[in-house]
Homo-oligomer: A and B are copies of this chain.
Amino acid sequence: MARPRSFDEAAVLRAARDQFWEHGYAGTKVDDLAAATGLGKGSLYGAFGDKHALYLRVYDYYCTESTDGVRRRLEGPDDTAYQRLQDHVHAIAESVVADRERRGCLMAKGAAECAEHDEAVATRTARAFRDLQDYLTACIAGAQRAGDLAASEDPARLAGLVLAVLRGLEALGKGGVEPAGIRAIAETALAVLPKP
């Protein structure tokens, strides 16, 4: 029919994501996006629309990747559910610790910068949090059935608490809290979850 696209859309989204991630929405220039993706501005506008539309694509892509990864890590049989929960909490703490440039999480950054004025960002963020809490709830419920956590507690409430701690770890990491502090919080959070 016509000339096909010469770029890989996913690669362009990743490059654009890194720009927005590093500089924020307002701090990212369209020229930077063009340079980072290797596309001319004409191609960029033709393929994705304007800066805002591209940001939404990137943000949605990031949220989906992020929450899907969590889902995969948390789902599984009941008898290893508690282990998976522990691993997940530790993994988040380690990723915060490992992030020495304090790049943080694009979801946290994007929500902080844009959710107030951008309904699409707010909506996508809300869905991501809901998904995360659902995956945590399922995992915790599994651990309760397996007898590794007290069955008396509402799993959704515990999941909310864990989610808040994990989001808090991310925020504290941004704030430069030391590795030992981050790890201690993760340990303490796991320790206070009610056991049978």
Identify which of A101, A111, A125, A129 gathers the most chain B CB atoms within 10 Å of its CB: A111
Chain B residues with Cβ below 8 Å from A101 are: 116
Q: Which of A41-49, A69-77, A187-195 contacts B (4 or more CB under 8 A)?
A: A187-195
Closest to A169 in B: B164
Q: Which of A9-17, A31-39, A175-183 contacts B (4 or more CB under 8 A)?
A: A175-183
Is A112 part of the binding interface, using a Cβ–Cβ cutoff of 8 Å? Answer: yes
Interface range on chain A (Cβ under 8 Å from partner): 35 or more
Chain B residues with Cβ below 8 Å from A128 are: 175
In the complex, are the beta carbons of B174 and A160 less than 8 A apart?
Answer: no
Q: How far is the CB of A15 from chain B (nearest CB, A)?
A: 18
In the complex, are the beta carbons of A175 and B26 less than 8 A apart?
Answer: no
Q: How far is the CB of A177 from chain B (nearest CB, A)?
A: 6
Closest to A116 in B: B102
Is A172 part of the binding interface, using a Cβ–Cβ cutoff of 8 Å? Answer: yes
In the complex, are the beta carbons of B115 and A112 less than 8 A apart?
Answer: no
In the complex, are the beta carbons of A165 and B175 less than 8 A apart?
Answer: no
